[in-house]
Chains A and B, each alone.
Chain A
Amino acid sequence: MQTTSDEALIGRIAAGDKLAMQVLYARHHVRVYRFVLRLVGDASRAEDLINDVFIDVWRTADRFEARSQVSTWLLAIARYKALSALRKRPDEELDEETAGAIEDPGDDPEVAMQKKDTSDILRKSLTKLSAEHREIIDLVYYHEKSVEEVARIVGVPENTVKTRMFYARKRLGELLKAAGVERGWP
């Protein structure tokens, strides 16, 4: 079975095809939502923001240039929206505190004591990273973005992407070490 490419869908959306918009939404909304949620740390806010993202797609589809993947374009819009929303509420800066908002809701001290295996500690450490580090780790590992695509989404040079990823991993290693997990690196 041949599926319509994202680029073809964008072309149809530019011509006002609402069905194409539904297909594009079905394909990408979950990932875009998760990306935004990891940045803003609030589910209902993330839902509002993905609405803004896809409305933007509807309005500006004719301006899409196929220099990047559609998913990369979507994430770039989503990132912009999420950061703009965070800037409007200065009490929720892009720091480690935001990460706390999406920690496991059942993560009280008693439960935390039970989380002894590396997997759980690793996941918890991932939520404790700074927004900048979380973002890059998500883009590379979960959203499967290349160095070039991450550079486009984040708006930094490719070398900065590599360096930032390196430091994100290093920070993750330090958090794990502090939680008692020694992995031999860094």
Chain B
Amino acid sequence: MNTIKNKASEREEIEALLPWHAAGTLSRRDAQKVEQALASDAELATQYETVRQDLAETIGLNESLGAPSARAFQRLMADIEADASTARRTRSGFSLGEWLSDKLSSFSPRTLAWSATAAALAIVLQAGLLAGMFVNEHQGGPFITASAPVEQTVKPGTDALISFAPNATAAEITKLLQTYKMAIVEGPTGEMYTVRLAVTGIPKEELAKVIKQLQGEKAVRFVGQKSAD
């Protein structure tokens, strides 16, 4: 009696698994059990055929439903850009370049976001203000623009206009500024920054020499003497 009951229960169990067997999502062990039952039970095999039919038509029906429009994707990406978590996440990853890029992209054209970032970072490093800026922001202190403190400390002298290579990193720009003992005093205006080469006036020949050297630097896209205001 118990054996009969067990067999009936086992058959019901196999019957319930037929849809997953047809879809190929059963474990190997269960799939083998179903295969064995199908081989010896004609009624179950007939039922399995109906399951396979249902599966095929369910796929066909779903495939006929089409897809969302391209507008949906554009909207999603716009929503992601606007989402509050986007900026927060960027900051929490301590990606300094992206953090500054976010700040500066509101001041400068989007296409210039990276070169502005690199240059601004260089200014900050040069001025030794980096730690202070992070501490201030994370403690809810007042926001300090990257260029403001530098501008306040610069005195009149010999200036040049410079734009950095688009692929120049902050480290490269910093190194360049250190090597030439320059400070960024203004910018960006478009892609151009004003750099101070010396706090006093320097001879024309010497200035031309420095500019020529700068033109040969990898991190520099353009450099030229700035006319006196």
Main secondary structure of the interface of A (DSSP, over half): helix
How many contacts A-B (CB < 8 Å)?
Answer: 118
Q: Does B4 contact A (CB under 8 A)?
A: no
Which of B46, B83, B90, B93 lies in contact with A185, CB distance below 8 A? B46
Q: Which residues in window 9-52 of A have CB below 8 A to B?
A: 14-16, 18, 21-22, 25, 29-30, 33-34, 37-38, 43, 46-47, 50-51
Flag if A58 contacts B58 (CB, 8 Å): no
Flag if B50 contacts A183 (CB, 8 Å): yes
Q: Does A147 contact B (CB under 8 A)?
A: yes
Flag if A165 contacts B16 (CB, 8 Å): yes
Interface size class of B (residues with CB under 8 A): 35 or more
Interface string of B21-46 (1 = CB under 8 A from A): 01111100000000000000000001
Count residues on chain A whose CB falls below 8 Å from chain B CBs: 48
Least CB distance from B77 to A in Å reads 7
Task: Check A144/B23 contact, CB under 8 A, given A54-B76, A119-B57.
Answer: yes
Task: Check A122/B62 contact, CB under 8 A, given A29-B72, A29-B73, A59-B85.
Answer: no
Flag if A185 contacts B76 (CB, 8 Å): no
Least CB distance from B26 to A in Å reads 8
Least CB distance from B100 to A in Å reads 15
Flag if A137 contacts B68 (CB, 8 Å): no
Which of A21, A33, A127 lies in contact with B80, CB distance below 8 A? A21
Which of B53, B57, B89 lies in contact with A16, CB distance below 8 A? B89
* B77 contacts across to A, CB distance below 8 A: 18, 21-22
* A37 contacts across to B, CB distance below 8 A: 65
10 additional contacts (CB under 8 A) given A25-B73, A137-B54: A21-B80, A29-B72, A29-B73, A30-B68, A37-B65, A58-B80, A58-B86, A140-B23, A141-B23, A146-B20
Residues of B within 8 A of A (CB): 15-17, 19-20, 22-26, 46-47, 50-51, 53-55, 57-62, 65-69, 71-73, 75-77, 79-80, 83, 85-86, 89-90, 93, 95, 98
Most chain A beta-carbon contacts within 10 A, residue among B20, B68, B86: B68
Distance A163 CA – B16 CA, assembled complex (angstroms): 7
Least CB distance from B227 to A in Å reads 42
* Interchain residue pairs with CB less than 8 A apart (28): A18-B77, A29-B67, A30-B67, A34-B65, A34-B67, A38-B62, A47-B68, A47-B69, A50-B68, A50-B72, A51-B76, A54-B76, A55-B80, A58-B80, A59-B83, A59-B85, A119-B57, A140-B25, A141-B19, A144-B23, A146-B25, A147-B25, A165-B16, A169-B54, A172-B54, A184-B46, A184-B47, A185-B47
